[in-house]
Amino acid sequence: MTGSPGRRSADTAPAEAQEFIRRGRALAAEECEALLLLGDLINHDFSGRNARDPEFKEFAAAIGMTPAVLARYTEVAAFFPPKSRRPEMSFSWHEKLMVLLKQAGERTSGPAR
């Protein structure tokens, strides 16, 4: 493929474009899964702690994240237990749906919070 990934050249074959889209979707799905798994890890190992906890802050710094960002991952992962996650959807989709469901007073079929 020539040019930038966002632009296809006139000679780009549809099959090549489809492969590019397939790879992009796979990478996006992997990112979502990784962020939710990171949230699961924190929820398991730092259960009951939050972004103000010194050990939580230390872990966030050690992996190169801010406590606030890491706290977002843990909140979304806790709200969506693994069986209720949609692997074809992005992390942002899960996060936005969580906000909407919380506003509506609904929750997913996970453990009580």
* Residue 47 lies inside a defined structural domain of this protein: yes
* Residue 113 lies inside a defined structural domain of this protein: no
* Residue 94 lies inside a defined structural domain of this protein: yes
Is 90 exceeded by the pLDDT of residue 105? no
* Residue 51 lies inside a defined structural domain of this protein: yes
72 band by pLDDT with thresholds 50, 70 and 90: very high
Structural domain boundaries enclosing 57: 16-108
Task: Give the number of residues written for the chain.
Answer: 113
Q: Give CA–CA dist 74/39, Å, rounded.
A: 4
* Residue 44 lies inside a defined structural domain of this protein: yes
| pLDDT of the residue at 64 | 93
pLDDT tens-place string over residues 12-42? 668 888 888 888 888 888 888 999 999 999 9
* Residue 3 lies inside a defined structural domain of this protein: no
* Residue 10 lies inside a defined structural domain of this protein: no
Number of independent structural domains in the chain: 1
* AA identity, residue 82: P
* Residue 7 lies inside a defined structural domain of this protein: no
Sequence-distant (6+) residues with CB within 8 A of 9 are 1, 2, 3
| pLDDT of the residue at 49 | 83
pLDDT tens-place string over residues 47-62? 878 889 999 999 999 9
| pLDDT of the residue at 50 | 83
